Chains A and B, each alone.
Chain A
Amino acid sequence: MNLNIIAMTIEEQKAELVEEFDLFEDWMDKYNYIIEMGKDLEGLPEENKTKQFLISGCQSQVWLTANYDNGKIHFQADSDAIITKGIAQLLIRVVDNRSPKEIIDEDFSFLDKIGLKEHLSPTRSNGLTSMIKQIKLYALVFKTKEEQK
């Protein structure tokens, strides 16, 4: 696990991503960077690539799991497409090891700053919107469970 991620606040993490993408002028370079991020994604063991964790509505298959431990949510994702893996990795860098409240409050507008929304709009079946929805849903479930304790 990357210790940097744990040390950074969600705001710092987002700022770091925006800065990283600012380095690239050309969208092909941004794509290359997303592809590299996809290669960094830890991925999921085969036994977790099941229907239960499959996010629907994407042209590529995306699986997302979440574990709740010590007030923080740990996300893991995988996809059969590398660009989708890169998008998952990008989101995970922001939302991994955050509290349910932090995730529920996050509006993901940093994606606009990166220019990602424009290039990967919801109609593009890349799973970006579905992944965010699922991430928020997990956070809501863990928050509700916490409150019921």
Chain B
Amino acid sequence: MSFDVNIIREDFPILKQKIRKKDLIYFDNGATSQKPKMVIDRMNDYYNTENSNVHRGVHYLSQIATDAMEAARDKIKDFINAGSIKEIIFTKGTTEAINLVASSFGRAFIDKGDEIIISEMEHHANIVPWQMLCQEKDVKLKVVRINDDGSLNIEHFKSLLNKNTKLAAITHISNVMGVINPVEEIIEAAHNFDIPVLLDGAQAVPHVEVDVQKLNCDFYVFSGHKMYAPTGIGVLYGKEKWLTKMPPYQTGGEMIKDVSFEETTFNELPFKFEAGTPMVAEIIGLASAIDYMYSIGINNISKYEHELLDYATEQLLGIDGLKIIGTASPKAAVISFVLEGIHHYDAGSILDQLGIAVRTGNHCAQPLMKRMGINGTIRASLAFYNTKEEIDILVKSIDRVKSMLL
């Protein structure tokens, strides 16, 4: 299929909006992406014609809703090429998925004196749950260093692996810099020590094809809302061999088999980890977003976004006093930069007045800011509905920011 960004933009109603009387330029896709009409319509349809509680009801609508939800699980399984639907756990997002593993895997497999590995480029969501676990269980948190260009220091990672290491939790793609980590090498090195690996895929699934079996990762977590689906839905992929041995995370309805006041037996996978009524509309919305991505083609998305990334990088580097944070290759379509003599907040505020949505600040990655010796960046995170013309406007607008502030 040929890729025509103007046709694609028609699918996203919000992009037609004027912001402060200017055409909206949305470069904050790393925070959350916009939603195609197809996803919005699908969720509306669900509420208009199918809404019912799932799994328990004998009536018609309950059956329809259950079928739609479980078909969605199956689609998500195929989307990341998991081996079985038992390995697809619905969570409210990446953060909850990581918390689930930290809590449940932590309870079952991590004890005093053990070590957990993360990296300097992690989002707070992949730092704090492990930090809490380390405090509770007297476990050591080991942090992989990164190089000045933003790439992970793979040799340092390998040097941290030992018999006490119980888990490595590393981001697939940096949310700040867009740098793609050498995850295959990470997983292979960890597996040589029988250490399971969790990948934070929040910034990866919107941009690149993910195959969890090929990667051979033990856990893979991501959010729907960064990949054109609604907020409030995320996915934990876990290898069945781990999930089976892990205790439930939350308890309540849906996740049980039998309950008496003396004893409760738990439901089988994946329901064991899904206490309470699930976010049915959001799950169906996520499946619809996957259909939408398929209709464009994930490879087409990656290819076009790469063109955008290369173009934006080249144009931005032409601006005097602009420095890109994270120049390593390969990268996904995320660019963080700083402007000499200009605070990121000031720049972001003025860009906003010009109708451009960028993210400024530490991007929930304070340790990375410290490592790079900065207090924040301006981040333009691109999606396949962005255009080169929008990048040209960003570049011109940065010139205006400079003329106002310097």
- A residues touching B (Cβ–Cβ < 8 Å)? 27-28, 31-32, 35, 59-61, 80-84, 119, 124-126
Contact = CB atoms under 8 A, between A and B. Distances in A.
A60 B343 contact: yes
Contact of B343 (A28, A82, A124): A82
Interface of B: 20, 343-346, 349-350, 353-354, 360-361, 375-376, 404-405
A28 B405 CA distance: 12
Contacts of A31: 349-350, 353, 404
A36 to B, nearest CB: 10
16 contacts: A28-B350, A28-B353, A28-B404, A35-B404, A35-B405, A59-B345, A60-B346, A80-B375, A81-B343, A81-B345, A82-B346, A82-B405, A83-B350, A84-B345, A125-B345, A126-B345
A119 B375 CA distance: 24
Given A32-B404, A59-B376, A83 B20 contact: no
A-B pairs with lowest CB-CB distance, top 5: A81-B343, A60-B345, A81-B345, A59-B345, A83-B346
Contacts of A124: 349
B113 to A, nearest CB: 35
Interface centre among A27, A32, A35, A59 (most CB of B within 10 A): A59
A80 B404 contact: no
Contacts of A28: 350, 353-354, 404
A23 B344 CA distance: 28
A52 to B, nearest CB: 19
Nearest to B342: A82
Contacts of B346: 35, 60, 81-84
A27 B353 CA distance: 7
B20 A27 contact: yes
Contacts of A80: 343, 375
Contacts of A126: 345, 349
A126 B345 CA distance: 8
Contacts of B360: 59
A59 B353 contact: no
Nearest to A119: B353
Contacts of B353: 27-28, 31, 119
B12 to A, nearest CB: 24
Nearest to A124: B349
Nearest to A86: B346
Contacts of A84: 345-346
- Among B343, B353, B354, B404: residue with most chain A CB under 10 A: B343
Contacts of B376: 59
A29 B262 CA distance: 71
Contacts of A125: 345, 361
Nearest to A127: B345
A22 to B, nearest CB: 18
Contacts of B350: 28, 31, 83
A118 to B, nearest CB: 11
Contacts of B354: 28
Contacts of B345: 59-60, 81, 83-84, 125-126
Nearest to B406: A82
Given A27-B20, A28-B350, A125-B361, 5 more contacts: A31-B349, A59-B344, A59-B361, A83-B346, A126-B349
A28 B397 CA distance: 12
A35 B402 CA distance: 12
A135 B20 CA distance: 31
